[in-house]
Amino acid sequence: MRTIKKERKMIRILHVVTYMGRGGLETMLMNYYRALDRSQFQFDFLTHRIEKHEYDDEILSLGGKIYHISRLNPFSVSYKKELLEFLKKHPEYKIIHVHQDCLSSVILKRAKQCNIPVRIAHSHSSSQDKNLKYLIKLWYKRWIPKYATQLLACGKEAGDWMFEGQSYQVLNNAIDAKKYKYDLKIREKMRQQLQISGDTKVIGHVGRFSEPKNHSFLIDIFQCIHEENKNTKLLLVGDGELYNQIHEKVKKYGLEEAVIFTGVRADVTDLMQAMDVFLFPSLYEGLPLTLIEAQAAGLPCIISDKVPIECAITNLVQQVSLNSDKKKWASVVLETTCERKEMYLEICEAGFDIRKNVCKLQEMYVRLLENNV
């Protein structure tokens, strides 16, 4: 007698985010979402902004749902009430996966009150800006293990910092490595679009214009680079609250013709083909997705000593201390040569291709449900 395999009911996971724009965290989530077995799993998103963002249309096209609530304010009684009411209205979610940094405990506490059995806190950063909000975040950070049933981190430093001795699992910021294979035709096409001549050395950066990315120092470095070698350009991909400030600094230095601001782009894979060096002098990071992408594209990467060295999954990464002056950074960049080569196998062997990682994530969701329901 033939046994009929019982089909598993669709598992819907509620991801709690700020919004689904083209940031590193959000792009990582979309990498997993695209690779997901959507006959068995589905991602939905609870966001804290009402505006439409770059990934919204794609999410809807993949069958996902997007919900909006007020901005996260840990002191707001009305916010907590709104969140609680939302979760009570949606008992279909047995897994909540929270990406709200130290304030994840605020959401996880309400999820526990609503008896959501699987509550995941995901750390994407290894530090914070040292300001008044930092002290508030430290307070809320300590409560995460009390309300979470699973702790995840993008890397060891991010996990150690967020969870302070508690047991956690690392989920790599994986990418579709095949998309980043070096292609001379794409390089020539992109450089033509950007009006960059064939022998110009292009220093690239991809990241939100925010304090941690250290754009101001990046411009200082490039000023030194350009003084030494006029046949250089800086390609800045992204947007953010400091965009106008950095734009003004570029004008102040008289570098308008040498610095290209692309804004937020959907074709980062192609833009990386046009670069020769990837410059990343961040003040702090978790394990930045863009550095995995840059290595997959075969780009030599110059990073600060505040970026976790675990992101160096190939021999293309070189660290420079943030205590070093801009001239030292500039000399390292100028001395770095770019001989693009195929990196697909190295990325896969390092464990950062999306195909294996999405299987691990799916298995984790199933295991957590079986153990907690």
pLDDT in tens, 79-114: 999 999 999 999 999 999 999 999 999 999 999 999
- For 105, 131, 233, the CA distances from 97, given in Å and listed in that order, are 12, 27, 40
Question: What is the spatial distance between Cα 284 and Cα 75, in angstroms, rounded to a whole number?
Answer: 27
Q: Is the dihedral of CA 274, 277, 278, 281 positive or negative?
A: negative
- pLDDT classification of 205: cutoffs 50, 70, 90: very high
Specify the pLDDT at position 39.
Answer: 95
User: Residues 181, 344: contact at Cβ < 8 Å?
Assistant: yes
Which domains, ranges and CATH numbers included, belong to the chain?
Answer: 11-174+353-372 (3.40.50.2000), 177-349 (3.40.50.2000)
Q: Which of 366, 324, 17, 351 is nearest to 171 (CA)?
A: 351
Beta strands in 11-53 (DSSP E): 11-16, 41-47
- For 244, 280, 333, the CA distances from 191, given in Å and listed in that order, are 25, 21, 20
User: Residues 291, 222: contact at Cβ < 8 Å?
Assistant: no
Q: Which of 356, 16, 366 is nearest to 174 (CA)?
A: 356
Question: What is the spatial distance between Cα 252 and Cα 235, in angstroms, rounded to a whole number?
Answer: 18
- pLDDT classification of 9: cutoffs 50, 70, 90: confident
- pLDDT classification of 2: cutoffs 50, 70, 90: very low
Is the pLDDT at 7 greater than 60? The verdict is no
Q: Which of 24-33, 129-138, 279-288 has the lowest mean pLDDT?
A: 129-138
What percentage of the chain exceeds 70 in pLDDT? 97
Task: Please report how many Cα atoms fall inside a 13 Å half-sphere around the Cα of residue 268, on the Cβ side.
Answer: 25
Q: What pLDDT, in 10s, does the model give residues 267-306?
A: 999 999 999 999 999 998 888 999 999 999 999 999 999 9
Beta strands in 219-299 (DSSP E): 232-237, 259-263, 277-280
Specify the pLDDT at position 3.
Answer: 41
Neighbour count for residue 4 (Cβ, 10 Å): 6
DSSP, res 54: T
Is the pLDDT at 118 greater than 80? The verdict is yes
- Mean pLDDT comparison of 104-113, 193-202, 305-314, highest-scoring range: 104-113
Higher model confidence: residue 154 or residue 135?
Answer: 154
Q: Which residues contact 1 (CB under 8 A, 6 or more apart)?
A: none
Is the pLDDT at 340 greater than 90? The verdict is no
User: Residues 161, 123: contact at Cβ < 8 Å?
Assistant: yes
Specify the pLDDT at position 5.
Answer: 43
User: Residues 256, 247: contact at Cβ < 8 Å?
Assistant: no
Is the pLDDT at 373 greater than 60? The verdict is yes
Q: Which of 139, 89, 141, 143 is nearest to 116 (CA)?
A: 89
Is the pLDDT at 127 greater than 80? The verdict is no
Q: What is the pTM of this model?
A: 0.91
Is the pLDDT at 251 greater than 80? The verdict is yes
DSSP, res 160: H
Is the pLDDT at 134 greater than 50? The verdict is yes
What DSSP element (H or E) covers 205?
A: strand 201-206
Question: What is the spatial distance between Cα 285 and Cα 368, in angstroms, rounded to a whole number?
Answer: 28
Q: What is the mean pLDDT of residues 183-196?
A: 95
Q: Are strands 232-237 and 118-123 parallel, antiparallel or unpaired?
A: unpaired
- pLDDT classification of 128: cutoffs 50, 70, 90: low
Q: What is the mean pLDDT of residues 185-204?
A: 95
What percentage of the chain exceeds 90 in pLDDT? 89
**How far does Cα 52 stand from its chain's mean position?**
19
Q: What is the mean pLDDT of residues 217-229?
A: 97
Q: What pLDDT, in 10s, does the model give residues 48-57?
A: 999 999 999 9
Specify the pLDDT at position 55.
Answer: 97
Q: What pLDDT, in 10s, does the model give residues 315-339?
A: 999 999 999 999 999 999 999 988 8
Is the pLDDT at 131 greater than 90? The verdict is no
Q: What is the mean pLDDT of residues 193-212?
A: 94
